[in-house]
Amino acid sequence: MLREKRIFGKSRPALSVVIPCFNEEEGLAQTHARLSRVLSRLTGFQCEQIYIDDGSSDGTWEIIDSLARSSPTVRGVKLSRNFGHQSACLAGLREAVGDAVVVIDADLQDPPELIPEMAALWLDGWSMVSAQRRNREGETLFKKASAYAFYRLLNALSDHPLALDTGDFRLLDREVVALLTKSPDRHMYLRGTVSWFGFPETSVAFNREPRHAGETKYTLRRMLELSRRGLMAGSPAPLRLPIYLGTTVLVVGVVAAAVQRDPRLLARPGAFGTQALALGVIGEYLHAVFRQVQGRPQYVVEGRLGMVSPSLRVEERVAL
């Protein structure tokens, strides 16, 4: 197994924990204390914590600074301004050196106590361990309902299966992190992209508690932006909509004209339908260009068996 080869020889595998923070001064010290308690009990791992300050305007960076000064296993990275949660997570994944990396929110809505179970599942061979929300306490009915509906809609429209009701609180194997951080995708929807890679994925269930301090940073505008990203990154459906619409209108027009024996009935649906279809054809090309720019690999290899026969070595093949 690849993982065994990679961590073989190390006394303990390395585990990085990435914590994106945006104006989290009120609760960060408590988060750090709880996380550190959990990590100190993970004696089979060498752990590091990486706090990413995503352009906070409060005292978040000063707190991270004091945490990093007082502990050799804590690092801080300050982004020049607020780039958003997904970019902050990606920044942390790029900094992390662990054999496995956990991304966790700074507000204790993601309980750090789940990390040992995630790490154990990683040792069992799972490349990704996501934390699945059983319920969401302290969140508005609107947020609960919209999240429930959105994940299901996205799953139905996506061109690959997605883990339902999971956020970015998850453990990723180094291989997955390497693929993510190499990706040129500038509008990445992390949880979708990692599912797209298709590595063995499992989940642990948990009850999502309310924020222990501060306010949510995910305003309605940001939630809509994240949903747009998720849909665009994983589904060709929005760009194909005109094709479906145009075809439907044309078929209805033709049937209506045939049934009524009146070709004039086809005039308006014909004009609208062909325009929509033309737009849909442009959408198909746009989608092809988008996929190319998104830069996902054409396939991902999970494992290999056997070795190249010595008689097929490159020099000999060239000589032939």
Residue for token pair 């325009």: 275
C-alpha to C-alpha distance for 162 and 140, rounded to whole angstroms:
24
By beta-carbon proximity to ligand UDP, the closer residue of 89 and 266 is 89
User: Can you point out the beta strands (E) in 123-270?
Assistant: 128-136, 166-173, 201-208
- Min dist CB 214 to Mg ion, Å, is 9
**Under a CB-based contact definition with an 8 Å cutoff, are residues 120 and 222 in contact?**
no
DSSP letter assigned to residue 255: H
**Under a CB-based contact definition with an 8 Å cutoff, are residues 250 and 273 in contact?**
yes
Residues listed for the chain: 320
By beta-carbon proximity to Mg ion, the closer residue of 105 and 165 is 105
63 binds ligand UDP (CB under 6 A): no
Helix, strand or coil, per DSSP, at residue 205? strand
Residue span binding ligand UDP (CB under 6 A) among the ranges 81-89, 184-192, 254-262, 283-291? 81-89
107 binds ligand UDP (CB under 6 A): yes
By beta-carbon proximity to ligand UDP, the closer residue of 64 and 106 is 106
Point out which residues bind Mg ion (CB under 5 A).
Answer: 105, 107, 109
- Min dist CB 242 to ligand UDP, Å, is 33
- Sheet containing strand 201-208, edge to edge, reads 74-78, 46-53, 14-21, 100-103, 166-173, 128-136, 201-208
By beta-carbon proximity to ligand UDP, the closer residue of 91 and 239 is 91
- Min dist CB 183 to ligand UDP, Å, is 19
Among 26, 42, 58, 82, binds ligand UDP (CB under 6 A): 82
# residues near ligand UDP by CB under 6 A: 16
By beta-carbon proximity to ligand UDP, the closer residue of 46 and 203 is 203
**Under a CB-based contact definition with an 8 Å cutoff, are residues 19 and 104 in contact?**
yes
- Among candidate residues 138, 108, 105, 115, the one with its CA nearest the CA of residue 31: 108
Residue span binding ligand UDP (CB under 6 A) among the ranges 216-224, 277-285, 301-309, 312-320? 216-224
Residues 15-54 that bind ligand UDP (CB under 6 A): 20-22, 24, 54
Terminal Cα-to-Cα distance of the chain (whole angstroms): 34
76 has which bridge partners?
A: 51
Which does residue 85 touch among Mg ion, ligand UDP, none (CB within 5 to 8 A, set by kind)?
Answer: ligand UDP
Which does residue 82 touch among Mg ion, ligand UDP, none (CB within 5 to 8 A, set by kind)?
Answer: ligand UDP
C-alpha to C-alpha distance for 176 and 94, rounded to whole angstroms:
12
By beta-carbon proximity to ligand UDP, the closer residue of 105 and 201 is 105
150 binds ligand UDP (CB under 6 A): no
**Under a CB-based contact definition with an 8 Å cutoff, are residues 93 and 183 in contact?**
no
Which does residue 84 touch among ligand UDP, Mg ion, none (CB within 5 to 8 A, set by kind)?
Answer: ligand UDP
Phi first, then psi: give them for residue 98, nearest 5 degrees: -65, 160
By beta-carbon proximity to Mg ion, the closer residue of 106 and 233 is 106
Among 3, 75, 85, 170, binds ligand UDP (CB under 6 A): 85
**Any residues with CB less than 8 A from the CB of 96 and at least 6 apart, and which?**
16, 18, 48, 50, 177
Which does residue 218 touch among ligand UDP, Mg ion, none (CB within 5 to 8 A, set by kind)?
Answer: ligand UDP
- Among candidate residues 238, 239, 264, 265, the one with its CA nearest the CA of residue 252: 265
Question: Which residue's Cβ has the minimum distance to Mg ion?
Answer: 109
Which does residue 155 touch among ligand UDP, Mg ion, none (CB within 5 to 8 A, set by kind)?
Answer: none
C-alpha to C-alpha distance for 297 and 10, rounded to whole angstroms:
30
Residues lying near ligand UDP in the complex (CB under 6 A) are found at 20-22, 24, 54, 82, 84-85, 88, 105-107, 109, 216-218
